[in-house]
């Protein structure tokens, strides 16, 4: 029941105040048995999509929540999948209705409903191949939030000439925001931020070993950056992708309304 209908029913004396209040408070989420409540209004309320964190959930619960979200919204994004939960999705959904990240740790299931297109553009860069898994999570989130994405992977500072050669891809893409995923000492986001004129989001990754392992050195390095960037938590691919997409979507809105020239 829409808010207008609830208020009209109350005005006409069809429902009591307590009932109207309860109806309004329950709007915007879909209960899934006793295990979850899907926030169907989150994207409209905050600009950030609802997603399913697979970590800590049983495969059967992930499937049940995903089915409920697809029924309510047409699409569902699931992050932090392991092999068992990935297989559970594959057994319950048509392969044509599943989109996977490179390592199958992030997925989107759908009923044929296409992802929205906002006109926003997000670039995703990884310092090393070991950082791609987290970078892919950010990419799929940005894509689900309507953005066109461009990836540039394995271009860390140990061989920085690789990134220089890939700069043309970024120039052609004209991104509104860039996510840079890096482990070990986490240098790449600082360097990228010093070369481009769009917001950069540093995404520290829990790769590397020795002192400062598990992403701690990368996180501290990004926080100490001498060039301006935003930094999310270690392995925070969802947050990085969402933040970049919010920036890009706002930029796309401004282009559509003519309040700024295309960059």
Please write the tens of the pLDDT for every residue from 42-56: 887 888 889 999 999
Measured distance CA(192)–CA(167) in Å, rounded = 10
Please indicate, yes or no, if residue 226 is contained in any of the structural domains: yes
Sheet containing 107-110: give its strands across. Answer: 52-53, 75-79, 107-110, 98-100
Q: Do 102 and 165 fall into the same domain?
A: no
* pLDDT attached to residue 261: 54
Tell me what the mean pLDDT of segment 178-203 comes to.
96
More confident call, 20 vs 102: 102
Q: At residue 84, does pLDDT exceed 50?
A: yes
263 pLDDT tier (thresholds 50, 70, 90): very low
Q: At residue 262, does pLDDT exceed 50?
A: no
Please indicate, yes or no, if residue 29 is contained in any of the structural domains: yes
More confident call, 170 vs 180: 180
Last residue of a domain, one of 57, 83, 110: 110
- Pure H helices in the chain: 3-11, 17-25, 42-46, 59-73, 83-92, 132-144, 161-173, 188-193, 216-223, 237-257
Please indicate, yes or no, if residue 5 is contained in any of the structural domains: no
Q: What is the pLDDT of residues 199-244, one digit of tens each?
A: 999 999 999 889 999 999 999 999 999 999 999 999 999 999 999 9
Contact 131, 180 (CB under 8 A): no
Q: What is the pLDDT of residues 143-162, one digit of tens each?
A: 999 999 999 999 999 888 89
Please indicate, yes or no, if residue 201 is contained in any of the structural domains: yes
Tell me what the mean pLDDT of segment 6-15 comes to.
88
* pLDDT attached to residue 19: 84
Contacts of 68 (CB under 8 A, 6+ apart): 30, 32, 36, 38
Averaged confidence pLDDT in the chain: 91
The structure tokens listed for 167 are 């700069």
Measured distance CA(126)–CA(129) in Å, rounded = 7
* pLDDT attached to residue 260: 63
Q: Do 70 and 183 fall into the same domain?
A: no
The structure tokens listed for 33 are 């048995």
Strand partners, 26: none
Number of domains in the chain: 2
Tell me what the mean pLDDT of segment 188-196 comes to.
95
Last residue of a domain, one of 110, 133, 161: 110
Please indicate, yes or no, if residue 60 is contained in any of the structural domains: yes
Last residue of a domain, one of 77, 110, 143: 110
Contact 98, 86 (CB under 8 A): no
Please indicate, yes or no, if residue 186 is contained in any of the structural domains: yes
Tell me what the mean pLDDT of segment 97-116 comes to.
95
Q: What is the pLDDT of residues 26-39, one digit of tens each?
A: 667 788 888 898 88
Tell me what the mean pLDDT of segment 99-112 comes to.
96
DSSP conformational letter for 126: E
Q: Do 83 and 189 fall into the same domain?
A: no
Contact 202, 134 (CB under 8 A): no
Tell me what the mean pLDDT of segment 182-210 comes to.
95
Q: Do 71 and 96 fall into the same domain?
A: yes
Q: How far is CA 38 from the centre of its chain?
A: 17
* pLDDT attached to residue 130: 95
Q: Do 131 and 204 fall into the same domain?
A: yes
* pLDDT attached to residue 245: 97
Q: Is 213 exposed, middle or buried (0-12, 13-18, 19+ CB in 10 A)?
A: middle
Q: Which of 85-89, 133-137, 164-168 has the lowest mean pLDDT?
A: 164-168
Please indicate, yes or no, if residue 71 is contained in any of the structural domains: yes
Range of the domain at 60: 25-110
Q: At residue 183, does pLDDT exceed 70?
A: yes
* pLDDT attached to residue 76: 96
Tell me what the mean pLDDT of segment 243-260 comes to.
91
């Amino acid at each position: 029941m829409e808010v207008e209908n609830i208020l009209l029913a109350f005005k006409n004396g069809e429902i009591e105040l307590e009932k109207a209040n309860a109806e309004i408070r329950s709007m915007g989420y879909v209960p899934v048995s006793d295990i979850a409540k899907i926030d169907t209004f989150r994207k409209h309320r905050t600009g950030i999509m609802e997603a399913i964190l697979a970590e800590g959930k049983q495969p059967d619960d992930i499937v049940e929540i995903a089915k409920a979200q697809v029924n309510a919204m047409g699409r569902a994004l699931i992050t932090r999948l392991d092999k068992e939960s990935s297989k559970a999705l594959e057994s319950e959904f048509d392969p044509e209705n599943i989109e996977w990240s490179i390592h199958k740790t992030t997925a989107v299931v759908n009923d044929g409903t296409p992802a929205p297109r906002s006109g926003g553009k997000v670039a995703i860069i990884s310092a090393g191949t070991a950082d791609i898994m987290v970078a892919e999570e950010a990419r799929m989130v940005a894509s689900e939030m309507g953005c066109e994405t461009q990836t540039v992977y394995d271009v860390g500072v140990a061989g920085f000439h690789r990134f220089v050669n890939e700069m043309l891809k970024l120039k052609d893409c004209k991104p509104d925001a860039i996510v840079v995923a890096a482990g070990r000492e986490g240098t790449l986001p600082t360097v990228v931020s010093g070369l481009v004129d769009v917001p950069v989001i540093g995404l520290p990754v829990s790769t590397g070993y020795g002192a400062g392992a598990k992403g701690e050195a990368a996180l501290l390095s990004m926080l100490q950056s001498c060039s301006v960037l935003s930094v999310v938590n270690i392995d925070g691919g969802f947050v990085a992708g969402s933040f970049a997409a919010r920036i890009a979507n706002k930029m796309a809105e401004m282009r559509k309304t003519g309040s700024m020239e295309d960059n």
